[in-house]
Amino acid sequence: MRPLWPPLSRRTLLLGGATLLAAPAAWPQAPGRTYRIGFICQTRRAGWGPLFEELRGDGFVEGKNLVVVGEIGTSFDRYDALAAELVKAGVDAIIANAVPGVRAAQRATQSIPIVSLSDDLVEERFVASLPHPGGNITGVSMLSPELDRKREEILLELVPSARHLATLADPETTPPQQLLRLQEAAGAHHVELSIERATKREEIAPAIEAAKAAGAQAIHVLASVNFYVNRGLVIDATIKARLPAMFQWPEWVELGALAGYGPTLASLFRQAAHQLVKILNGAAPGDVPAEQPTHISLALNLKTAKALGVTVPPSLLVRADEMIE
């Protein structure tokens, strides 16, 4: 079986030329001390492998001087209870993924450091600013609003005849203003954009079918923990509906997705690990700058393109960092 997140052999696209990935802290951890961390997320342990690899490289080794408190990967309805358990256990830091996880951690504590991964940490008001987060939260702000507009543009390059796009969104994680911006961007290209919503697994396939029935000629799937957990279903449903689809994660082309544009999950988890190391070494989270992705990749699955009757233009072929042929 192919690993879930294989390394991409890719040329690196730099976003804005900025490199915000900070070097690990230089001072050593306290001798003889055991550090305790907890996770509030739906991503299972296997998905966090890159984070644990980075921690080991910086001297934080599970089973030696690092302990994970509680489960890694749980359902939304467990978030608040899990956050309370982690606070009661007195963990040294909490890793929280996406808006629901960060909100649960934020409700539970204003003092324990929180390392977060979310779409836009400033707009979501988790940090005061990227350079100076303030409070007890720092993390990786994934540039989703900016990259979503770029994904929409790439999808129109893939399907240049399209005059009606659909966007699949999860209202739990996508703010209305983000959807409005995408509609305005589509309108600037004289393209209609309809919004289909799904918050549960059983709503995903019907939402994609509704997009097809409404006349959509391609679909843009926004970031969502729900869609991540059910990624196989999402990809299969778009192909079954014969809707060319754009996704956030480049890794998903290995699972059959037509196209993905964004940072890899592995790179984001490694960035989060670097920030966690600083905090475990004594830095205050409000003084640890929140980061943005530094490497953005375009991945294409030419097998899926052929199956859907999509001719990938040369302009995208030369820009692709990963292609499945």
CA distance 36 to 208: 42
Partners of 193 in beta bridges:
165
What letters, b where the CB count within 10 A reaches 16 and e where it falls short, cover 126-139? Answer: bbeebeebebbbbb
* Mean pLDDT within 127-135: 97
Q: Count of residues for the chain?
A: 325
* 258, two tokens: 């037509």
Say yes or no to pLDDT of 222 above 90: yes
CA distance 105 to 114: 7
Residue located via tokens 């969502």? 224
* Mean pLDDT within 229-254: 97
The residues near 231 (Cβ < 8 Å, ≥ 6 apart) are 252, 255
Closest CA to 263 of 1, 21, 3: 21
Cβ-contact 92, 280 below 8 angstroms: yes
Partners of 247 in beta bridges:
260
Query: Higher-confidence residue: 37 or 1?
Result: 37
CA distance 301 to 322: 8
Identity of residue 86: L
- Structure confidence by residue, pLDDT tens digits, 259-306: 999 999 999 999 999 999 999 999 999 999 999 998 999 999 999 999
Q: Domain 144-262+298-324 belongs to what topology?
A: Rossmann fold (3.40.50)
Q: Considering the chain, what percentage of its residues have pLDDT values greater than 90?
A: 81
Say yes or no to pLDDT of 2 above 60: no
Query: Higher-confidence residue: 148 or 27?
Result: 148
| CATH 3.40.50.2300 intervals, the chain | 20-142+265-293, 144-262+298-324
Say yes or no to pLDDT of 86 above 90: yes
- Structure confidence by residue, pLDDT tens digits, 94-109: 999 989 999 999 999 9
Q: Domain 20-142+265-293 belongs to what topology?
A: Rossmann fold (3.40.50)
The arrangement of strands across the sheet holding 137-141 comes to 66-69, 35-40, 93-97, 114-118, 137-141
- Structure confidence by residue, pLDDT tens digits, 140-184: 999 888 899 999 999 999 999 999 999 999 998 888 989 999 999
pLDDT for 10: 36
Say yes or no to pLDDT of 201 above 60: yes
Residue located via tokens 């995408």? 182
Say yes or no to pLDDT of 11 above 60: no
Closest CA to 16 of 228, 287, 294: 294
User: 151: how many CB neighbours lie within 10 A of its CB?
Assistant: 24
pLDDT for 144: 81
User: What letter does residue 62 receive in the DSSP assignment?
Assistant: B
Query: 289 exposed, middle or buried (CB, 10 Å; 0-12, 13-18, 19+)?
Result: middle
Residue located via tokens 């990624």? 231
pLDDT band for position 32 (cuts 50, 70, 90): confident
Cβ-contact 66, 53 below 8 angstroms: no
Extended beta strands in the chain, E state: 13-14, 35-40, 66-69, 93-97, 114-118, 137-141, 164-169, 192-197, 218-221, 245-247, 259-262, 295-301, 322-324
**Average pLDDT of every residue of the chain:** 90
CA distance 91 to 150: 39
